Amino acid sequence: MVRPNVLVVILGSLLGIAQCTNYYTVTAPGTIRSNTPYNVSVTTHNSDKPIKCKIDITGPDYTDSQTVEVEPHTTQIVQFNVPKIPSDDNEYKIKVEGSGGAEFKEESVLRVAKKYNSVLIQTDKALYKPGDLVRYRVLVLDSATRPAKITSPIDIQITDGKQNIIKQLKNIQLTTGVFSDEIQLSELPVLGKWKINVDIDGETRDKEFGVEEYVLPKFEVIVDAEKHAYFEDGKIRATIRAKYTYGKPVKGTAEVTVAPKHSYMFASGAAIQGETKKTVPIDGKAPVEFELLFDRKNDWDKQMTVTAVVEEKLTGNKQNGSADVTVHRDKYEIRGEDISYTFEPGKPVTFKVKVIQKDGTPVRDSKQPLKVSISRGYNEPNTNETEHQLDENGEAAFSLTFPDIEFVSLIGKYGNVESHFAHLRKHTEVLNPPRPFFPPHDEQTPLKAQIKTDKPSLDKDVEVEVTSSKELDHISYQIIGKGNILKSDIIKDLPDKKRHTFTVKPTIEMVPNAHLYIQSIKDGELLWSETIMDLGENLKNQIKIETAEEVKPGEDVNIKVKTSPNSFVGLLGVDQSVLLLKQGNDLSKNDIFSELRSYEGYTHYSRYGSPGNQAGVVTFTNANYTLPPPLDNIMAISLTSWQDSAVNDGSVEVNVEMDSENNDIEETELSLINVREKFTENWIWIDFRDSQYDPTE
């Protein structure tokens, strides 16, 4: 009586599996963000019926639901317009429910991101004297560096060094995302660190500036040191340069010190006390050299700092400068390029190995070969050593065949440098098998995506190549930028079933980088690959400034600014000595792109290696896939395996007059020269809107 029931259950299960042919993937960002669209991609794979998908966003302060019907072999993006939600809420979920071609019901927890706009604050100086005028700008931008759409009040508060409120502004109005203002310091202000605080609906951003009595430095000190030094050389070399702000050399003495950058890093031998010091004469520049002894067997790479204090001969005034030097234990680095992580016994595997110096330049040596040997595990001897010549790019290409073993590690040796550059396991039919040493994020087998365009940028299409060890009839992909899905597409009827190339047009939302997440479903298995499309640190709206390199006191300075039409332009000009005194007031390129990178999205406690995890998205699907082992298992494997727009569209000209006074001096030919006596520290602070447009400019 029992056996027939068992057979019925088994046959019913098999029939159910056979009928489940309509596959889907629903891709959703793992992070939800206030006042920002939340895009969900729904894709149908290998289906013959439309799939209706209901998507719910649920949480304590925001709930929304949308339903979309997706035709076979297509993809759609469903957009949710998320309002302001408290950043401390972590109870948001996305729920997806399918009907029609496929029935499913799944959900995932969402992270709530605090950041939904960027507040940048600029002052005209980093340090002020009593009685100075403090000028500042506040920029409020969205994640694409456009003026942010702010509906909440923006408040500004300025406090002095004792936290007294000196100025308070409520509900300020932005002009093209910018607010400019100033505050006059009294002759007896509170000295110390002052602060500008910007509050937008409870989210705050601060900028500090100093108020002190000071004398501007008249010269600067630059330490021009080799960035990379080596244990075997035992020397650190540097050139100390000192010049006045008007370019003339400084005469005096330079006290130069070499010391570990961090206190826990100490050198042996000549630097047994932790630092070495020399005093040398200087006339504009002075070369110095230090001999340091390092123990290559027991020491590792060290960060050292070269500091120079230059004392001016005539006045005794002192200025200092410094530079960091990395002292390397090894002179070379051996890297595997596009290395496979699996092998099939008896079949050759091709390798490309590159030998580079620590500064990134390739080693060009046709005489000394790269030696490659094989290790089968911890404490196992290296065997089968082969030699390979390097080409002009410092590369060696070769093929190796391995016997029927489970694991193999390849060791490269060049000079006295020895390094493991590849770790391979025997190939299995399991998708995405466990792999040691965290392979690159675009290295998923049997599907792999690669960016083929050299140095991608906003102004050109990016070529993407997808390769597969299995024959595919389609691929789908999503582009994820700043935690949101920007594009979703499906490519059908591939002419080459194992290799396909397509192009992507970058947008400003993808700067500085975006994730490319590619999937396909073959025989009920989800294949996927993830890679990063790095577009570099360039923005859509460019600016160009043209001016004379040198002018005489009293002459006008003509400045031509070229940028896109209707741009808001803010100019700042300061004396060079102000920058020598202290920096940090201006907006640097690093500040802007650090802000853009802070919008990266993440998933909520997602398992390492799950589909879309590195791109910060969650994937719902009825296809099968195999996850890599948990992180602790991978670490165990690793430890066991390891032996050792148009720029010229608009133009504006700005005239700035330099301060000068006519002075009576001796009646010589020099009496015609105007001598500058007023040394204004900050001499340009201008805001204007470029409304001109000249297509021939």
Task: Give pLDDT, residue 205.
Answer: 94
Residues 432 and 506 in one domain: yes
Task: Give pLDDT, residue 263.
Answer: 66
Residue 238 CA, distance from chain mean position: 30
Count CA atoms closer than 13 A to 441's CA, side-chain side. 18
Residue 168 belongs to domain with CATH number: 2.60.40.1930
Residues 268 and 376 in one domain: no
Domain boundary pick from 279, 307, 328 = 328
Find residue 650's DSSP bridge partners: 563
Answer whether residue 119 is part of any domain: no
Q: Which tens digit of pLDDT belongs to each residue from 373-418?
A: 988 765 667 778 899 999 988 999 999 999 888 888 899 999 889 8
Residues 266 and 299 in one domain: yes
Answer whether residue 121 is part of any domain: no
CA 245 to each of CA 214, 322, 549, 573, 579: distance values in angstroms, whole numbers, following the listed order? 17, 18, 14, 15, 11
CA 385 to each of CA 143, 350, 374, 418, 422: distance values in angstroms, whole numbers, following the listed order? 53, 16, 7, 13, 15
- The predicted model gives 523-545 an average pLDDT of 90
Residues 560 and 485 in one domain: no
Residues 246 and 296 in one domain: yes
Answer whether residue 497 is part of any domain: yes
CA–CA separation, 341 and 358 (whole Å): 26
Residues 576 and 632 in one domain: no
CA–CA separation, 468 and 627 (whole Å): 18
| Exposed/middle/buried for residue 237 (C-beta within 10 Å: 0-12, 13-18, 19+) | middle
Q: Are 491 and 500 in contact (CB under 8 A)?
A: yes
Residue 324 belongs to domain with CATH number: 2.60.40.1940
CA–CA separation, 282 and 321 (whole Å): 14
Q: SS3 for 6?
A: helix
Q: Are 631 and 608 in contact (CB under 8 A)?
A: yes
In this predicted structure, the answer to whether residue 659 has a pLDDT above a threshold of 50 is no
Domain boundary pick from 328, 358, 373 = 328
Residue 556 CA, distance from chain mean position: 41
Residues 269 and 383 in one domain: no
Q: SS3 for 8?
A: helix
Task: Give me 503's structure tokens.
Answer: 């192009």
Which H/E stretch holds residue 631?
helix 631-641
Q: Which tens digit of pLDDT belongs to each residue from 256-287?
A: 999 888 765 554 443 434 568 999 999 999 99
In this predicted structure, the answer to whether residue 422 has a pLDDT above a threshold of 60 is yes
Count of the separate structural domains present in the chain: 5
Residues 610 and 473 in one domain: yes
Answer whether residue 120 is part of any domain: no
pTM, full prediction? 0.74
Answer whether residue 36 is part of any domain: yes
Q: Are 201 and 152 in contact (CB under 8 A)?
A: yes
CA–CA separation, 613 and 29 (whole Å): 10
In this predicted structure, the answer to whether residue 2 has a pLDDT above a threshold of 80 is no
Among candidate residues 627, 626, 625, 604, the one with its CA nearest the CA of residue 616? 604
Q: Is the peptide bond before 153 cis (omega within 30 degrees of 0)?
A: no
CA–CA separation, 510 and 461 (whole Å): 13
Q: Are 70 and 100 in contact (CB under 8 A)?
A: no
Answer whether residue 166 is part of any domain: yes
Residue 8 belongs to domain with CATH number: 2.60.40.2950
State which amino acid sits at residue 344: E
Q: Which tens digit of pLDDT belongs to each residue from 479-500?
A: 999 999 999 999 999 999 999 9
Task: Give pLDDT, residue 298.
Answer: 67
CB atoms within 10 A of CB 484: 23
CA–CA separation, 357 and 543 (whole Å): 36
**Beta strands across the sheet bearing 395-401:** 332-337, 348-357, 395-401
Residues 205 and 253 in one domain: no
Residues 240 and 318 in one domain: yes
In this predicted structure, the answer to whether residue 626 has a pLDDT above a threshold of 80 is no
Confidence label for 633 from pLDDT (cuts 50, 70 and 90):
very low
Domain holding 87, by residue range, is: 2-113
Alpha helices in 224-348 (DSSP H): none
Residues 409 and 363 in one domain: yes
Domain boundary pick from 113, 143, 174 = 113
Residues 387 and 453 in one domain: yes
Which H/E stretch holds residue 577?
helix 576-581
Which H/E stretch holds residue 449?
strand 447-451
Return mean pLDDT, the chain.
83
